[in-house]
Amino acid sequence: MSDEVLVDARGHHCPVPTLRLRKALEQAPDGARVRLLADDPMARIDVPHFAKQAGFEILESGEAAGALSFLVVKPS
């Protein structure tokens, strides 16, 4: 699956970015990729912790133009 679901949580403080990511992943089909954009520095800690505990894999993470970006895949 090459399409990504985009969750733009810039301008929100944690835990909102992680909660929006969780909701998008729950609603997405198996194998879906969800990209989270967040500008709260706590997302660096919260998102990987959430992904590990929930069984999701982070395929990419990085920072560009002041926003953190995480590409997370929902297992099949």
**Residue 14 designated active-site:** yes
- The single residue of 5, 14, 16, 19 carrying the catalytic annotation is 14
For residue 17, whether the previous peptide bond is cis, meaning omega lies within 30 degrees of 0, is no
The helix (run of H) or strand (run of E) holding residue 50 is helix 43-54
- The residues annotated as belonging to the active site are 14
